[in-house]
């Protein structure tokens, strides 16, 4: 049944995307090239609608009954509607944030909420009144994180596919049927869309797709790992390590340079790798590899002891820091570790 659900969504998006492409052109949902963007020609950008419709059909046919099913799909519909309007008319960040917040609130009030975590040595940490804002921040944050990495052909779709496969695989081991089915259907739809979206892309997913993928990944990762141990809470963060770290450093970079946090720039990870001389497909494959390594570390982390988990976290954090300094994601002047290494070498 699980494989049939995956295959159905894969085939559905392959069949739907050509029609969505024509619809995007007809509605004027197109992306014009500019100085910040990599593509050089007019591109239709409503591809996320095909992903959403295929998943909606899959949910109707295959999804086991759950109290979460329709609240999540209602929230997803709001996200997609917001994305469609943005892809056609270019909404302001405030309006997009409003749509994302409304969608998140709908799923939270219907039970998708992190209420507590179990501590390593017994007992619980109850979030109490902070449960709602923490959950809201996570869902909206991941929605925007996937949107921010959607800068190269196939990049956001590939990162999302890797994250969804990891979440689905871990849901299988934990016996979480709902997350397993939803994750596999999302994975199938995203993988099918990559046929049209990988370099050279024939259609972009647009904010419709990036926000839908981000929203669903944010929600499914919560359902898969909520109310677990303190260290298990790190697992979804690791799975989404690339978009989360890229978003955090974008905020830091803009704050350090006095730029508005919501203002787009051309210093994200993919921009930085392109500036280092890597080609478009090479950059995408490199970031896929980083995402896969983060996901693999999440799997190892879920099976590790407390000491091993702490050691692994230290290694991961140091690796992220070095990657940021080498690529210049946080700014060309941000090189604390590399400067110390260079200073130590100069003294030898």
What is the reported pLDDT for 235?
79
Does 129 have pLDDT greater than 90?
Answer: no
Within 13 Å of residue 28, how many CA atoms lie on the same side as its CB?
5
What is the reported pLDDT for 148?
85
What is the reported pLDDT for 230?
52
Domain holding 64, by residue range, is 2-347
What is the reported pLDDT for 39?
53
Residue 137: phi, psi to the nearest 5? -60, -40
Pick 33 or 274 by higher pLDDT: 274
Alpha-carbon distances of 342 from 104, 306, 348, rounded to whole Å = 46, 34, 10
- pLDDT, one tens digit per residue, over 210-251 is 999 999 999 998 887 765 555 556 778 888 888 988 888 888
Q: What is the mean pLDDT of the chain?
A: 86
What is the reported pLDDT for 15?
98
Please report which confidence band the pLDDT of residue 48 belongs to, taking 50, 70 and 90 as the band edges: very high
Beta bridge partners of 45: 204
DSSP readout, 11-80? Answer: HHHHHHHHHHHHHHHHHT-EE---TT-S--S-EEB-THHHHHHHHHHHHHHHPPP-TTHHHHHHHHHHHH
* Structure tokens given for 265: 């720039």
Does 175 have pLDDT greater than 90?
Answer: no
Specify the pTM.
0.89
What is the reported pLDDT for 103?
98
- pLDDT, one tens digit per residue, over 242-258 is 898 888 888 877 777 77
Domain count within the chain: 1
Cα–Cα dist 334/300, whole Å: 31
* Structure tokens given for 230: 């303190």
Please report which confidence band the pLDDT of residue 122 belongs to, taking 50, 70 and 90 as the band edges: low
Neighbours of 134 (CB within 10 A): 12
* Structure tokens given for 7: 């295959």
Cα–Cα dist 74/107, whole Å: 8
DSSP readout, 321-338? Answer: HHHHHHHTTT-TT--HHH
Question: What is the H or E stretch that residue 194 is in?
Answer: helix 177-197
Segment of 25-29, 39-43, 148-152 carrying the highest mean pLDDT: 25-29
């Amino acid at each position: 049944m699980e494989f049939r659900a995956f295959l159905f969504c894969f085939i559905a998006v392959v069949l739907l995307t050509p029609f969505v492409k024509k619809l995007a052109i007809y509605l004027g949902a197109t992306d014009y090239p500019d100085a910040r963007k990599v593509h050089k020609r007019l591109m239709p950008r409503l591809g996320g609608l095909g992903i959403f419709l295929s998943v909606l059909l899959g949910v109707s046919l295959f999804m086991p009954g759950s109290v979460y099913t329709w609240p999540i799909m209602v929230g997803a519909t709001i996200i997609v509607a917001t994305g469609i309007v943005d892809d056609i008319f270019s909404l302001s960040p405030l309006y997009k944030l409003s749509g994302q917040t409304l969608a998140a609130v709908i799923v939270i009030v219907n039970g998708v909420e992190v209420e507590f975590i179990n501590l390593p040595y017994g007992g619980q940490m109850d979030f109490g009144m902070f449960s709602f804002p923490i959950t809201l921040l996570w869902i909206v944050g991941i929605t925007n994180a996937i949107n921010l990495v959607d800068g190269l052909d196939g990049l956001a779709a590939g990162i999302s596919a890797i994250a969804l496969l990891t979440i689905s695989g871990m849901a299988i081991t934990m016996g979480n049927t709902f997350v397993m089915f939803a994750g596999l259907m999302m994975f199938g739809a995203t993988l099918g869309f990559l046929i049209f979206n990988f370099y050279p892309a024939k259609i972009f997913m647009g904010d419709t797709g990036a926000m839908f993928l981000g929203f669903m990944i944010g929600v499914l990762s919560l359902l898969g790992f909520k109310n677990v141990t303190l260290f298990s809470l790190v697992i979804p963060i690791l799975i989404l390590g690339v978009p989360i770290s890229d978003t955090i450093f974008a905020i830091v970079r803009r704050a350090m340079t006095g730029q508005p946090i919501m203002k787009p720039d051309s210093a994200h990870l993919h921009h930085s790798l392109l500036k280092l001389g890597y080609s478009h497909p090479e950059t995408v494959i490199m970031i896929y590899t980083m995402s896969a390594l983060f996901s693999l570390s999440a799997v190892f982390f879920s099976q590790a002891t407390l000491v091993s988990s702490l050691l692994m976290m230290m290694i991961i954090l140091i690796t992220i820091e070095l990657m940021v300094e080498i690529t210049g994601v946080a700014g060309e002047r941000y090189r604390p570790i590399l400067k110390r290494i260079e200073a130590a070498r100069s003294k030898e």
